[in-house]
Each structure stands twice: as C-alpha cells, then as structure tokens.
C-alpha cells in the first residue's frame, strides 16, 4: 500500500488591506502572521529529514526598510540583513542550511553591481557567474557532494536563457530564442528537474518543467503562467506556480504529474511559491 503523503505549499495572496501569506497543507490554507507590521512577498519552504520546517521571507517593516528573515518551525532564526539582496531559496542538507539570494549591492566606493549570494549556516559567500552579462541564481540544491543552482543568464542580445550550474559549471537549458528563466532546481536519483517559464511567440510566458533538459509545457500558452518550485516523491512530480485567469488575476496553482489544481479562487492575485512533500 502506498504511503499517504502530506503536501506543504507556501505562497501569498494580495488582498485589499494586507498581503496574506498562506501555508497550504493538503490543500487546506493556514494564514501565517509573524509580525503584524511585516509584509512578506516571497517565500521558500524546506523540511529537514528530522522534521524541522524552514521558510524564508522578505518584505518591508513599518519604516519601509527591507528585511530578510529565516524561520525554523515558525521561530525567527536570523536577520540575514538589509544589504540589497533578495533571498529566493532555502535548502537543508544534513545539518547545513543554505540560503540563495541575489540583488544589487554597493561596495565601499558606492558602486552598485548585481551579485549572487549563498549563505551557508548564515555565513555569506558571493558567487562569480558571468562577468559580462547579468546572471541570476534563484535556487540551490545539494545532492551528495554536488551543488546545483538554477536561474538565468543574459545573452549579448539581452535575451534571458534558463540556466543551471553544477559545481559552478554553467549549462544552458534553453537556446535563447525566447526569454526564459529557471526558478527552481531539484535533483532526485540523478535526474535533474528544473521549473520556470519560457515566453512563446505570442509573448506569453508558459510554465515549464525540464527533466534532464527535456521540456514539458504545464500551461497552454494562452495566459501568462510561471512555475516556481518542484518536489519529486517516488514517481510523482509536484509543481507549484501561478497562471492568469480570464479576469486578469493570478491564481495559485498546484500541478501533480502535469494536472493542474487551483489553490485560490482567482478573486485576488495569488502565487504558490514553494512545495515540499513528506
């Protein structure tokens, strides 16, 4: 008999008064409130083998200052800093906690440049990725001794190419014909799964899943859509993201083996940002 699994999804919804952060467990929403004056716009979720739940947020406080926070089991662990970097991804491997971020950082001379950063156990390290064009890493995954990033890089013609890096070595996922971004990478049984989007000829973003660089469309390309996170359990592939509806609102979506389920009713903009299955 197949084990009954719990599906955890974290995301947010834009409401008339406050942005509401959702934690869905098996499709049932629980609103998360850490501090009344904090508005968290982006999240990543990871559950360690020991059962600890880590999630990551950033937003603004009452003074309009940017804040970046890592939570463990709902308790604030650290204020990573207000340094121009937006955190995208949290990943736990054994006792090590990795956070991936990116943004514009000013040096001592006041010169700002785009930087990719990893925090490992709250110690930061800048990544050197592409000296000539922008390259952004949005996700990190550790598999054995190998460290993977996913994101994008710009070509000389300023097209975005969905890209993954294995131990710092760059691999293109798309060919640069249309703009594409990889948002999340997951490695299981030596298979490399990446999700994101690629624009079609009509200019709409199509939610995409790439397995070992072979693409699968999750949406039909008639509305803008993006895939933000993936988890693989046994032979089942879980993906979350968002798709615009006929009213022009983004709907938080869960895809299980390519079949879509709406998590929100479409009355407000909503995004499902991260998924974990256990």
Do 228 and 274 touch, CB atoms closer than 8 A?
A: yes
Q: How far apart, in whole angstroms, are the C-alpha atoms of residue 81 and residue 49? A: 27
- Helix (H) / strand (E) element for 210: namely strand 205-211
CB burial class (10 A; 0-12, 13-18, 19+) of residue 71? buried
Q: How far apart, in whole angstroms, are the C-alpha atoms of residue 159 and residue 260? A: 29
Length of the chain: 278
Q: What is the pLDDT of residue 66?
A: 61
Please list the pLDDT of the chain residue by residue as tens digits (278 residues): 456 789 998 888 877 655 677 888 898 887 665 444 444 555 789 999 899 988 887 766 666 666 677 888 878 776 665 566 778 899 999 999 999 888 776 666 666 677 888 889 988 888 766 666 778 899 999 999 999 999 999 998 889 999 999 998 999 999 999 999 999 999 999 999 999 999 999 999 999 999 999 999 999 999 999 999 999 998 899 999 999 999 999 999 999 999 999 999 999 999 999 999 98
Q: How many CB atoms lie within 10 A of CB 184?
A: 28
Number of helices followed by number of strands (H, E) in the chain: 0, 24
C-alpha 8: how far from chain center = 14
Q: Which domains does the chain have, with CATH numbers?
A: 7-277 (2.120.10.80)
Q: CA Rg, the chain, in Å?
A: 18
Residue 144 bridge partners (DSSP):
none
Global pTM reads 0.90
Beta strands in 73-111 (DSSP E): 75-79, 85-93, 96-106
């Amino acid at each position: 008999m197949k084990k009954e699994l719990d599906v955890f999804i974290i995301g947010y919804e834009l409401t008339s008064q406050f942005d509401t952060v959702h934690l869905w467990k098996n499709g049932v929403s629980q609103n998360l409130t850490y501090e009344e004056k904090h508005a968290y716009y982006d999240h990543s979720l990871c559950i360690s083998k020991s059962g600890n739940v880590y999630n990551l947020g950033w937003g603004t406080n009452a003074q309009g200052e940017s804040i970046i926070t890592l939570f463990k089991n709902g308790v604030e662990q650290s204020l990573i800093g207000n340094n121009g970097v937006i955190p995208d991804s949290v990943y736990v491997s054994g006792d090590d906690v990795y956070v991936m971020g990116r943004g514009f950082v000013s040096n001592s001379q006041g010169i700002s440049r785009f930087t990719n950063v990893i925090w490992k156990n709250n110690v930061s390290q800048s990544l050197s990725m592409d000296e000539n064009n922008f390259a952004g890493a949005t996700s990190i995954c550790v598999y054995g001794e190998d460290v993977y990033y996913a994101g994008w890089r710009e070509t000389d013609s300023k097209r975005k190419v969905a890209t993954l890096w294995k131990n710092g070595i760059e691999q293109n996922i798309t060919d640069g014909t249309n703009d594409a971004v990889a948002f999340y990478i997951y490695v299981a049984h030596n298979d490399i799964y990446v999700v994101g989007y690629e624009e079609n000829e009509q200019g709409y973003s199509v939610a995409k899943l790439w397995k070992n660089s072979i693409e699968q469309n999750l949406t039909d390309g008639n509305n803008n859509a993006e895939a933000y996170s993936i988890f693989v359990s046994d032979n089942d592939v879980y993906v979350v993201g968002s798709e615009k509806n006929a009213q022009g609102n983004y709907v938080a979506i869960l895809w299980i083996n390519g079949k879509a389920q709406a998590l929100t009713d479409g009355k407000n903009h909503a995004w499902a940002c991260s998924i974990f299955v256990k």
